[in-house]
Structure 1
Amino acid sequence: MKSVKILHTSDWHLGKKLFKLSRLPEQKIFIEYFLKTIQSEDINLVIIAGDIFDTPQPPHEAISLFFSTLKRLSDLGVTTVIIAGNHDSAVFIDSPSPLLKELNVHVCGQLINSEHQLDLGKLTLDLEIHQSKIHLSLLPYFRNWEMEVLAQQEQLQLENEEDYLKLIELLFKKLTSSEADTNILVAHHLFGPFQISGSEQGISLGTLASIPLKMTSQYFNYAALGHIHKRQSFEVEKSSIVYCGSPLPFRFSESNEKSMELITIDKEGVRHEKHALPMIRKLVKLELQSDKWNKQWLSHLENFENACQLNPYYEVHLHLVKPEAGLHDIIRQAIHDSGAEVLSFFTLLPETENGSIDHLQVINQLQNTEKLFETFYQNKYPGTELPLDLKSELHLLLDEVRKNEIQDL
């Protein structure tokens, strides 16, 4: 039997912005690499496990990129399976379903359909690839009200964690097939002892913190999961339960190392491995001291290796020794001149030996703030004095800060 090759990806978040800057240039580069991987690895089936878009109403360019990608997948001759995530509009994902089937693209946006029924014809898909029978159970992101509807139909009361577990297991039984060689779950929810990476939205399932791995392993050979942006893999008995992670870091708190999951089905069973993605643009946190920032920045540039296609974005943490008018702008310009951009800038006040902010020092520094601001204004607008109305607003602001600092003493 010739092996079946499956590529598992999720959490594209097309249309995502980071501090008002679109990530579409990076997402387009990822999709080109994604399509090349399908060709080079001879992929038969593509699974996209939710959060295709970043918002329920994505920008037109993101929608266009999505549908053009589906057309190119069809041209490559692969079968594509897509479910909705918590960021997606379930109805929007479902609406082009009849048309997409002509492209061999199967989409599933809702657990409970518009008639408030569990449509197993929509939630399951049977494929035969290289004489291997594969049954896919599609579990898009579902909300608590959908579980309530399902519970009513099954005459169950959802009062505690045990009730939710019974309902989940009943759902798994309905979705799986005893006739298939391989049962694959495609889901966008929380399973097992997951670790968040920092940019995922919180989701809940009644009183359940997550769906147990052992229960999942009893029904599926492989679970292709979405929602968590950090790759995580769990091996339970003969089952693999995998969050493949997002293709890009979406916050500075996320790791720059990203991947997809390559699954192989052959006579030996189901195997999977991480397929590392190239870094397209690094998100970098930079720590600087205000009295030696220039030396630190030049040292960073000298040691920074950027093998990415695009220049990095920076989050700067500036540790103040004393107030310096215009220093933020000077640092931003220096980083901009290197070809990079500062997206986030934090100014950190001096701390005492025990790690707390020295509020007396802050109050003393405030005495000179008006003079510093006047100097900054005159440097920015040579030959002009600080307007009286602006000076009055500054006084009010400084008085408010002084009051807060005194209260913290």
Structure 2
Amino acid sequence: MSKIRLLQTGDWHIDVSPSKAPRHEDHQHFLCWLLQLMKEEQTDVFLHTGNIFNKAIPSNKGLNLLSDFVFQASELPDLKAMVFICGNHDLSHFLESLNPLLKTARDIKIHFISSLPVEQEQIYQKLLVPVTCPSSGAHLATIIAFPYTPHSILLAKYTSDKKSAIDRFSDLEQSLKDIYTSLAKQAQSKFAQGPLIAMGHFNCADQETLKTAFSSHRSIYFNQKFTPELFCDSYDYIALGHNHNHLSLNDGRIQYAGSPITTSDEECTTRHVLQIEIDESNTAQVKPIQVPPFRKTVVFDGSLTELLDLLEQEDVVQTTYLYATVTQTNSHQDVLKHLEKHSAHVRLIDLKQPQEKSFLDQAPPLSMLDPEQIFSEIYTQKYNSLPSEELTDLLKQAVHKALYQEELNSKISETVD
């Protein structure tokens, strides 16, 4: 067998934050770049480790991004297979419905592995993905494409309702280990040659893994992490998804590519995809490739004056997304007004203040404020944008009607008395 080249990515989360921080342009830029990279690197196999979309039902724009990418990738001369597994954000039935549409693609095999079959034999048929050369039919590699599966299914044979969360996780880890080991044995008996590659969507860590290596809010499976011992020695390479940061485990045998798009203030480090080359001895060489960002994301902690000075120095082409902690006691509305005045290219995504107090905790007594001030500040805190003139006008009309009704009720009460 000659060398085989794989491209690993995952956790795209297309359609993330459509109103607050839309990133469709970012994904479009990334996918165009990715197609060119796969062409230049002569990629044989494309691996996606789950969470294509951010929501169960994608938008039309999000679905078009995926379909355009898949069909353009299917025209690449060296690509032989594309394998997508379901993540915890993906709706399994929806991904399953995409498979018939992909049969119209070129000679390459495109697989959307969405759920775990009930019957054991069906598991082998569905999750074992052989990669072959279209021209010669030679077997190049075997991929175990294991999709995200709810713990209730994986624990079906255990009486887990009577155990603690730790005991249940121990059963869960054993269940997954048994499945991966069984699949490896089946693959080796069916395909004697070529590397064996596993895919999965969950958190995995060893004793040396730092907590900061993981996205803190990405919690599944009792908020626990599996150990590398989950995978038997038969696997030559393991491609995992769910963690949004690039991470290498088990001497490089286990790899997370991380999310290619910054979707939170925790992800402002360099984003990656992974190029994997497996040689004749089934040894994998992994090369992280930096994803060129479409827009800049700024995480700032300091005074409003320092923030404005920083933003004025920025040479920005696309709208910058800003996550800010402002140490001065400025209101949300005050910060937004300054940003609009000094930096029209900046969009405030999240604003924190050290005292962690809401407007109502900090404001003067309500009797000293008019309704428009109260509404404007609370709206700004919630949506990180100033209310529109239309909303403000509607509020004024509502206040006017309320005051008129109050005055009318008072006069009626006086008349009755």
Corresponding position of 1:28: 28
Q: Does 1:273 align with 2:287?
A: yes
Amino-acid identity (%): 19
Deviation at 1:21? 3.4
Mapped to 1, the partners of 2:331 and 2:9 lie a distance apart of 47
Mapped to 1, the partners of 2:88 and 2:198 lie a distance apart of 17
Q: Does 1:11 align with 2:11?
A: yes
Q: How high is the TM-score relative to the length of structure 2?
A: 0.75
1:169 match: secondary structure: helix
2:348 match: secondary structure: strand
Q: Does 1:331 align with 2:338?
A: yes
Mapped to 2, the partners of 1:96 and 1:311 lie a distance apart of 34
Q: How many residues are matched? A: 360
- Give, as a single letter, the amino acid of the residue that structure 2 aligns with 1:262: Q
Gaps of 5+ in 1: 350-355, 394-409
Deviation at 1:300? 4.2
Query: Does structure 1 retain, via aligned residues, the 8 Å contact 2:323–2:349?
Result: yes
Task: After TM superposition, list the pairs within 5 Å mapping 1:10-409 onto structure 2.
Answer: 10-17=10-17, 20-77=20-77, 78=79, 79-103=81-105, 104-113=109-118, 118-129=122-133, 133-149=140-156, 151=157, 160=167, 161-176=169-184, 177-178=187-188, 179-193=192-206, 195-200=213-218, 202-204=219-221, 209-236=224-251, 240-268=253-281, 269-289=283-303, 293=305, 296-302=307-313, 304=314, 310-321=318-329, 327-337=334-344, 339-349=345-355, 370=369
1:331 match: secondary structure: helix
Which one has a larger percent strand, Structure 1 or Structure 2?
Answer: 1
Mapped to 2, the partners of 1:118 and 1:148 lie a distance apart of 19
1:141–1:389 distance in 2 versus 1, CA, 3 Å:
closer
2:145 match: secondary structure: strand
1:227–1:98 distance in 2 versus 1, CA, 3 Å:
same
- Give, as a single letter, the amino acid of the residue that structure 2 aligns with 1:119: I
Mapped to 2, the partners of 1:98 and 1:24 lie a distance apart of 26
1:39–1:17 distance in 2 versus 1, CA, 3 Å:
same
C-alpha RMSD over aligned residues: 3.7
Corresponding position of 2:414: none
Query: Does structure 2 retain, via aligned residues, the 8 Å contact 1:217–1:240?
Result: no
Deviation at 1:175? 1.3
- Give, as a single letter, the amino acid of the residue that structure 1 aligns with 2:259: S
Deviation at 1:218? 2.0
Mapped to 1, the partners of 2:159 and 2:122 lie a distance apart of 18
1:119 match: secondary structure: helix
Query: Does structure 2 retain, via aligned residues, the 8 Å contact 1:91–1:109?
Result: yes
Mapped to 1, the partners of 2:43 and 2:315 lie a distance apart of 33
Corresponding position of 1:397: none
Which one has a larger percent helix, Structure 1 or Structure 2?
Answer: 2
Query: Does structure 2 retain, via aligned residues, the 8 Å contact 1:108–1:123?
Result: yes
Deviation at 1:321? 4.8
Gaps of 5+ in 2: 377-387, 390-394, 403-417
Mapped to 1, the partners of 2:300 and 2:365 lie a distance apart of 26
1:388–1:203 distance in 2 versus 1, CA, 3 Å:
closer
1:26 match: secondary structure: helix
- Give, as a single letter, the amino acid of the residue that structure 2 aligns with 1:301: E
1:335–1:371 distance in 2 versus 1, CA, 3 Å:
same
